[in-house]
Amino acid sequence: MQMKPLVGVTADKTMSGMHPSHTVGEKYIAAVVDGAQVMAMLLPALGERQAPQDVLAHLDGLVFTGSYSNVEPHRYGGRASTPGTLHDAARDATTLPLMRAAIDAGVPVLAICRGFQEMNVVFGGTLHQSVHAVDGYHDHRENKEDDLDVQYAPSHALQLVQGGLLQKLAGGASEVRVNSLHGQGVERLGDGLTVEARAPDGLIEAISATDARAFTLGVQWHPEWKHASDALSTAIFRAFGAACRDRMRIRTGSAAAASANG
């Protein structure tokens, strides 16, 4: 049986009753396993206890998931958060250095929602903590009282940048429709990032790393939700999976060569 690539899926540090726990939504795991056709490994938010180089030595790709928590504003020089804002210091300490190391090492990266915001921070960008409170922008949040199918239904148009990676994945379309479930958004774009798509109000909704050696895409919406029923979501996960297979061939080939020369 042909070996499949191994993809790390980032976890949040949360409380399960009185117990600290590390959790990942099943929708991300299902999209990785079924959409990208790879194996998934959940990555706990261990911060400095887990060196990025040690993690990357075993992986062929990384998915940085969405989350209800916000990136801590001190990570990008932002103002203090509104009281009651959910943060996850352990996740920040894990994902920010890991993403930088992965992109530098040529490991494929797919960053979703919070992961998209992490990518902008990793490249030195800043975030709006409450997009709906900024003049000129729409309210991009979901109604949490709605059924999930309503929350994750297509909410607004997405204008794709001509000739970009995302437009190619969309089969050359100039516009698609996506869901919208986020409060934060890109304020200043990080250096070394390319805009792939914008919402109708001009908010950046997709980015890629300009000089990345492998597939590197960040999206503000949730393509993992019922990925198989959406053409662009299907294309994103297939392209990510193909990049992970390329990475696996490089990783295992190098390992075999090192063993032969040992």
Determine whether 224 is an active site residue. yes
pLDDT given for residue 261 in this prediction: 43
Given 22, 113, 118, 142, the catalytic residue: 113
pLDDT given for residue 2 in this prediction: 78
Scored b (16 or more CB within 10 A) or e, 103-141 reads beebbbbbbbbbbbbbbbbbbebbbbbbbeeeeebbebe
Given 22, 128, 182, 222, the catalytic residue: 222
pTM (two decimals)? 0.95
| CA dist., res. 60 & res. 246, Å (int) | 8
Q: How confident is the model at residue 258 (pLDDT cuts 50, 70, 90)?
A: very low
- Relative to beta strand 216-219, strand 204-209 is antiparallel
pLDDT digits over 15-63, tens only? Answer: 999 999 999 999 999 999 999 999 999 999 999 999 999 999 999 999 9
Given 142, 224, 227, 244, the catalytic residue: 224
* pLDDT more than 70, % of the chain: 96
Determine whether 113 is an active site residue. yes
Q: In the chain, what are the helix, strand and coil shares in percent, each to the nearest 5?
A: 35, 25, 40
Determine whether 244 is an active site residue. no
Q: What is the DSSP string of 66-106?
A: --SSBPPGGGTTPPPPPTT--B-HHHHHHHHHHHHHHHHHT
